[in-house]
Structure 1
Amino acid sequence: MNWMILISAGLMEVIMVMALKKTDSFKVKKWTVIWFILSLCSLFLLSIALKTIPLGTAYGVWTGIGAMGSVIVGMLVYKEEVNLLKLILIVCIIVSIIGLKVV
């Protein structure tokens, strides 16, 4: 169950980064409030997952999901450059996350 909570925290991290982009350096109040709420929710879920998942593993998975998801959202939503090296590095993050789960 805590692995699902951790994955949810990572996905919330991706949504939080999307909201961060819309804050315009915290000038847009609506998106700043949304970003703040998402940040708290993501950290709260991470803290729950930390009850049973080792710190290094949980944090690595959480940041990995956030980083990987942000790159994918950047390419799909914000039309950032897609190239083979980015795709290979995303696969490396996925393999690392799986590795942390297995170990």
Structure 2
Amino acid sequence: MAWIFLIIAGLFEMTGVAMISQVHKNRNWKSISGLFISFTASFLFLALAMETLPMGTAYAVWTGIGASGGAILGMILYGEPKTWLRILFIAMVLGAAVGLKFIS
């Protein structure tokens, strides 16, 4: 269950990163509420996952999902470059997160 909580935490982290961009575009209560709710949920699920998982592993996987997801959302939603090197390094981050799961 801890790994499910950790994946959910990472997905909320991705949403929070996307909401930062929204807040910069539209400073309204919906954007700010979305930002607050996303990061609050992310930290809540991370805390739940860390009740079982080692802190170093949980934090590394959480930041890996957030960073990779943020980069992917940037490419999809905001027209950021989609070079093969960028995709390779995102895959490497995700591969490292999966590797941590296998050794934990």
TM range (shorter): over 0.9
User: Where has structure 1 moved over 4 Å in runs of 4 or more?
Assistant: none
The amino acid that maps onto 2:68 is M
Task: Give TM-score, length-normalised by structure 2.
Answer: 0.92
Paired residues of 1:5 and 1:45 also in contact (CA < 8 A): yes
Identical columns (%): 38
Give the unaligned 5+ runs of structure 2.
none
C-alpha RMSD of the superposition: 1.4
CA distance in 2 between counterparts of 1:3 and 1:82 reads 29
Q: Which residue of 1 is the match for residue 92 of structure 2? A: 92
Give the unaligned 5+ runs of structure 1.
none
Q: Deviations over 1:11-69 (max 9, x none)?
A: 11101111111111883332112101111111000000000000000000000000000
CA distance in 2 between counterparts of 1:25 and 1:53 reads 37
Kindly indicate which of the two structures has a greater share of residues assigned to helix: 2
1:67-82 map, 5 Å: 67-82=67-82
